[in-house]
Amino acid sequence: MHLGLTAKVDLTVTADDTAESVRSGDVPVLATPRIVALVEEAAVAAVAGQLAAGETTVSMRVQLDHLAPSAVGATVTASAKLEKVEGRRLKFSVSVNDARGLVAAGKVTRVVVERERFMDKCL
C-alpha cells in the first residue's frame, strides 16, 4: 500500500439522497449521512486492488465538515486520497465538490481486516 492512492466517485443527487429521505433533517438537499457514505465509497475505491486475498477495509472514524447544500439534480464528486498508513490503519483526506465549489471536507480512517475473521465477530 503506498501513499497518494486516490479515487473519485460521482453522484447525481436524487430525492432518495436528501435529508428528508434519510430522516437526518427536513430539507430537500443532499444529506450529511449520504455524503459520509460517498466519501467512504471513494476511500474504498482508492485502495481497490491493493489488499491481499481475503482482506477488506472497515470504517473506524469519519471527521467531516458539511459546508454547503447541494440540491436535487446537482452532481457531486467525492474524492479520497490516502495520506497515511499506520499499521493496519489507513488515513484518507476526503472532499466533496459540486459545480459551485466545496460541499464537504474531512478525514476518513479505515482499518484493514481479514474478512472472515471480522465476520466471525458478528456471531
Domain assignment of residue 1, yes or no: no
**Catalytic entry in 6, 32, 77, 109:** 32
Domain assignment of residue 77, yes or no: yes
**Catalytic entry in 6, 12, 18, 66:** 66
Residue 83 lies in domain: 6-120
Domain assignment of residue 53, yes or no: yes
Domain assignment of residue 105, yes or no: yes
- Active site (annotated) includes residue 2: no
Alpha-carbon distance of 35 to 109, in angstroms, equals 15
pLDDT of 123 reads 83
Cα distances from 86 to residues 47, 52, 89, 110, in angstroms, run 15, 17, 5, 11
Mean pLDDT, residues 93-108 taken together? 98
Domain holding 77: CATH number? 3.10.129.10
Q: What is the pTM (predicted TM-score) of this model?
A: 0.95
Span 72-96, pLDDT tens digits? 999 999 999 999 999 999 999 999 9
Instruction: Tell me, rounded to whole angstroms, the distance of Cα 120 from its chain centroid.
Output: 25
pLDDT of 1 reads 83
Cα distances from 64 to residues 1, 118, 120, in angstroms, run 24, 26, 30
User: Based on the structure, what is the number of domains in the chain?
Assistant: 1
Span 25-61, pLDDT tens digits? 999 999 999 999 999 999 999 999 999 999 999 999 9
pLDDT of 62 reads 98
